[in-house]
Amino acid sequence: MAEILLFHHAQGLTPGVHAFADDIRAAGHIVHTPDLFDGRTFHSIEEGLAYIGEIGFDAVREHGVRLADELPPELVYAGFSFGVLPAQKLAQTRPGARGALLFYSCLPISGEWAVGPWPERVPVQIHGMDNDPIFVGEGDIDAAREIVAKVADAELFLYPGDQHYFADSSLPTYDADATALLTARVLAFLGRV
């Protein structure tokens, strides 16, 4: 059994994020799903990003990082898109991390935007669609490939398609087949960390 801290995407803590967490719980894992937006959800990525912009990207990320202080250190950190910001920072900097699950987004581990190098013995899975204009078009895939090239236990999974939030069953971008495969890979990962 693993304990996971799962951060939602820019549209908020949607029913689809809850459903994903429930699927992981049904396999016997503990999943924490904090709400970084105090109950707000948004109809589009752009609306969510505008809200984050009002508060400040760093402030929202750091709020997520602070939430981990209430939990034990032996966590798997997971994030959907914007939620990757606190998840990846925690996986890279908080002692005791058991792993990281990065969905639709990835930050570099070298260069000016990097949190720092990836820690030894912290496995990571990265998932995205091969034609996602955000994941591929904005360079997250390059950061993912860098991690896979430099980290012993790192996997990048690409799914056919061009949707960003493809594993959120409450959104029109949902892809049931890709999500089923993603979930199977996540459960296999959680079974070995």
Q: Which pLDDT score is estimated for 10?
A: 97
Cα distance between residue 14 and residue 170, in whole Å? 7
Contact (Cβ atoms closer than 8 angstroms) between residue 61 and residue 37:
no
Burial class (CB in 10 A: 0-12, 13-18, 19+), 154: buried
pTM listed for this prediction: 0.96
The enclosing H or E element of 30 equals: strand 30-32
Residue 112 has pLDDT above 80, yes or no: no
The enclosing H or E element of 76 equals: strand 76-80
41-94 pLDDT, tens digit each: 999 999 999 999 999 988 988 899 899 999 999 999 999 999 999 999 999 999
Q: What percent of the chain has pLDDT over 70?
A: 100
Q: Which pLDDT score is estimated for 61?
A: 87
User: Is pLDDT larger for residue 147 or for residue 57?
Assistant: 147
Cα distance between residue 66 and residue 68, in whole Å? 5
Residue 110 has pLDDT above 90, yes or no: no
Within 13 A of 169's CA, how many CA atoms are on the CB side? 15
Cα distance between residue 19 and residue 45, in whole Å? 19
| Percent of residues in the chain assigned helix, strand, coil, to nearest 5 | 40, 15, 40
Domains contained in the chain, CATH given = 3-192 (3.40.50.1820)
